[in-house]
Structure 1
Amino acid sequence: MVQLLCSNKVYEKLKQELSKYSIEIKQDSDWVLVEKGYDLPSDKLSIVFDAIDYMDVIKLLVSGIRADIHFTNTLTGLSENKFAVMEPRDVLYLEAGSEGIMAYTKGSRYSIKETLHYYENIWAAKGFIRINKSQLVNLLHVKEIIPWFNSRYVLRMDNNTELEVSKMFSKKLRNTLNI
């Protein structure tokens, strides 16, 4: 639950994004998101943000305030007309493709809802990292990191699947793993 003090345009954007994470907007909340230029309430915890950076506020709320919520600790996927509930540690990688978003485990693949961006935000602290525009990898399941040409890498997963890290995401991988 959070209160918003911002322009109408930013309010609508924040309202839409917060609803994706089931974060309610209430005037009597102890937390207030305040757009730069608006007066800070003296009796509440406030987070001041630039209107252009409103998504950073969402990331902060999702990774911090909402970190203990159950839905960030599980994933529901559909495979062979059956639903399965999984923990993030069981997922090797997520992939966006023509069939939608798929979660791959050692034994199966599951169709899931939401977007890669959603899981990238809420699971970053659980060891997931974007490796290209269509894949998010659980670093706990990377068996080998193979240097590839043109400043790229190939990741060999626990199930021997090989995933290519694009040049654009190679720097983030190097920084994350100190290589």
Structure 2
Amino acid sequence: MVQLLCSAKVCEKLKQELSKHRIEIQPDSDWVLVERGYDLPDGRLCIVFEAIDYMDVVKLLVSGAYEDIHLRDTLTGLSGNKFAVIEPRDVLFLEAGSDGLMAYAKSNRYSIKETLQYYENIWAAKGFVRINKSQLVNLLHVKEIIPWFNSRYVLRMDNNTELEVSKMFSKKLRNTLKM
């Protein structure tokens, strides 16, 4: 449960996103999301954010909101005719494509449920970063970061797969890695 202190436009966006993750809005909550420029309430924990960064606040709350740790700490994937339970540390990257969402490990690839956005939200704290509209990468498995033309990068993974970071996501990658 959280309280919102923000503009009407940001409030509507936050309500919509928080409802997707079953986070309730309560006016008397101990946690308050405060848009920069609004007064901080006394005696409550406040998270101050810029209006443009409202999705980062949602990610922060969602990363701590799921009670079922097992769901956050593993995924179940289908490869061939068999299901496998996979640890996030074993996943090199996730990719959304015409066949649905695929998780790539060193030795195999698995068809998985949920969306890329779902894993981006719950695995951000585990080192997973969105690099383009269809891929999420585990930074622990990035062997090299190669500067590319037009402010982009190519990531060479442990298994020598090369993934392109789009221009739109390059800035976030640089900020995440403090480059």
Are 1:129 and 2:137 counterparts?
no
Partner of 2:162: 162
Residue aligned with 1:92, SS: strand
Deviations 1:16-60 (Å, cap 9, x if unpaired)? 8678657799xxx98899xxxxxxxxxx989899xx998666434
AA in 2 matched with 1:137: V
Unpaired runs of at least 5, structure 2: 4-12, 34-43
Check 1:46–1:178 CA distance in 2 against 1; reply closer, same or farther (3 A cut): closer
Partner of 1:36: none
After TM superposition, list the pairs within 5 Å mapping 1:36-55 onto structure 2. none
Deviation at 1:87, TM superposition (A): 0.8
For residues 45 and 147 of structure 2, the distance between their equivalents in structure 1, rounded to whole angstroms, comes to 46
State TM-score, norm by structure 2: 0.72
Partner of 1:151: 151
- RMSD of aligned alpha carbons: 3.6
Partner of 2:68: 69
Partner of 1:173: 173
Check 1:24–1:144 CA distance in 2 against 1; reply closer, same or farther (3 A cut): same
Deviations 1:47-79 (Å, cap 9, x if unpaired)? 899xx998666434321x336632111111111
After TM superposition, list the pairs within 5 Å mapping 1:87-106 onto structure 2. 87-106=87-106
Deviation at 1:178, TM superposition (A): 1.5
For residues 57 and 173 of structure 1, the distance between their equivalents in structure 2, rounded to whole angstroms, comes to 18
Number of matched pairs? 178
Check 1:23–1:108 CA distance in 2 against 1; reply closer, same or farther (3 A cut): farther
Percent identity reads: 83
Unpaired runs of at least 5, structure 1: 4-12, 34-43
Runs of 4+ in 1 over 6 A off after TM superposition: 13-20, 22-25, 29-33, 44-49
Residue aligned with 2:122, SS: helix
